[in-house]
Amino acid sequence: MLTFALSKGRLADKIFEMLKQLNLCDINISSDDRRLVITNGNYTFFLAKPSDVPTFVEAGVADLGVVGKDTILEEKRDIAEVLDLGFGKCKICVCTKNEDTEKYKNILNLRVATKYPNIAKNYFDSVHQNCTIIKLNGSVELAPIVGLSDVIVDIVESGRTLKENGLAPATTISDLSARLVVNNASLKTKYEEIYNVIKGFESLVK
């Protein structure tokens, strides 16, 4: 028996499609499903908020999880990241107003609005720039427009949200995509079953 914690939201439809292709789940699950726990044969699936997937996997209530690299970097949980699933590709960037893509580097105490305070703080520490992190929960692009922050650290996928709001990516912090993660103890105690799942996902990625 293996248990998966899956991310609801943007990554969900592709995850469910892969599970079907691998014959791990033949029940129809959709991204707006209201069920939270679904059992199919030897597998149980939790549908969790993306930022909570690493928590379920670290605690061992889920053996495996599928989650974005952004969440892995932000949550810093003790889990094993075993495979890049190759979808949900995007970047996390420092973004600024169009006209200032370099100027932000000279601001002494940079005001940074973000949904990702750990990623943002780690990045500015790594380049030795002082900053004040302003945690927001969404529509982060608003912050520099209305004067709450100098820059944002946010996900850029198509780039449309930035463009439509007069902003631009200035520096890429990391490339992102969906990842398969595993509980460290399960990796030892259920090695064979988990290895087969990893091999299955790998065959879909290549």
The least CB distance from residue 9 to ligand PRP, in Å, is: 8
**Contacting ligand PRP (CB under 6 A), which of 59, 157, 166, 184?**
157
Alpha-carbon dihedral 55, 57, 61, 66, rounded to 10 degrees? 110
Q: Whole-angstrom Cα distance, residue 180 to residue 65?
A: 6
Q: Does residue 5 interact with ligand PRP by CB under 6 A?
A: no
**Contacting ligand PRP (CB under 6 A), which of 21, 139, 196, 203?**
139
Around Cβ 83, how many Cβ atoms within 10 Å?
17
Please name which of 3, 16, 21, 2 lies closest in space to residue 178, comparing C-alpha atoms: 16
Q: Does residue 160 interact with ligand PRP by CB under 6 A?
A: yes
Give the binding range for ligand PRP (CB under 6 A) out of 35-43, 81-89, 94-102, 157-165: 157-165
Beta partners for residue 67, in sequence order: 179
Residue whose structure tokens are 């928590």: 55
Give the binding range for ligand PRP (CB under 6 A) out of 32-40, 148-156, 180-188, 191-199: 148-156
Q: Does residue 109 interact with ligand PRP by CB under 6 A?
A: no
Give the binding range for ligand PRP (CB under 6 A) out of 28-36, 38-46, 58-66, 132-140: 132-140
Angle at which helices 12-21 and 191-205 cross, to 10°:
110
Q: Whole-angstrom Cα distance, residue 180 to residue 84?
A: 7
Give the binding range for ligand PRP (CB under 6 A) out of 16-24, 46-54, 97-105, 151-159: 151-159
Q: Does residue 155 interact with ligand PRP by CB under 6 A?
A: yes
